[in-house]
Amino acid sequence: MREFQRQFASEEACQAYLAACRWPDGFACPRCGHTHGYRLMEHRRWQCVACRYQVSLTAGTILHNTKTPLAVWFWAAYLTVTDKRGISALLLQRQLGLRRYETAWMLLHKLRRAMVNAAREPLHGEVEIDDTWIGGPQPGLRGSRQLKGRKAAIVLVAVEKAMSRVGSGWRWSRTSNRPRWSISSRTMSRGDRRSTPTA
């Protein structure tokens, strides 16, 4: 967690990361194919040296046209994907040290929506599956007895490991132009546990 924060601490580091995702073998102009470009940090773009075509680093992703620093986005994505209980906007605001609650709410909303959209296609790569109960603890019961006759819903969450540790760094995998994180959740009651869940 600390290492993630350290690696994506600055706007520059996040942009370098997005560029590396877009051009794993180095810059290539989509218009003329020239392999030399320079970055325009302020605009989150790269410009081709030959034809001056500008490529946005965030086009096609939820990061596009945002005024929020990329480092904040990256950290928010990390917290949203890894928090098992489902992070709240308020907690996100505190963790990110944001002045405005609205910013935290917007980040969370966009990240969650991206996750839902991504869930429409099958997950691939390294996928983590976990289940959790929603409905809170039952008073007077402990351990597995909590589950007996419980009217809570089980939520099955499959997370494509979008930010997995690779060597000494992190990898934020992508499908074409957008970050490849996905979460799919399906609810079912306890009695239905073995039947096919319906979305």
Stretch that binds Zn ion, among 15-23, 52-60, 128-136, 186-194 (CB under 5 A): 52-60
How far apart CA 96 and CA 110 sit, in angstroms, is 16
Output 50 or 59, the one with its CB closest to Zn ion.
Answer: 50
Cβ partners under 8 Å of residue 51, min gap 6: 29, 31, 32, 34
Phi-psi region of 164 (alpha: psi -120 to 50; beta: other; left: phi over 0): beta
- Smallest gap from residue 31 Cβ to Zn ion (A): 5
How far apart CA 181 and CA 125 sit, in angstroms, is 11
108, 87 in Cβ contact below 8 A? yes
Q: Quick check: 9 binds Zn ion (CB under 5 A)?
A: no
Q: Quick check: 190 binds Zn ion (CB under 5 A)?
A: no
As given in the structure block, the two tokens for residue 173 are 């995998």
Stretch that binds Zn ion, among 26-34, 82-90, 99-107, 127-135 (CB under 5 A): 26-34
Output 47 or 184, the one with its CB closest to Zn ion.
Answer: 47
Q: Quick check: 26 binds Zn ion (CB under 5 A)?
A: no
Q: Quick check: 28 binds Zn ion (CB under 5 A)?
A: no
Q: Quick check: 32 binds Zn ion (CB under 5 A)?
A: yes
Footprint of Zn ion (CB under 5 A) = 29, 31-32, 34, 48, 50-51, 53
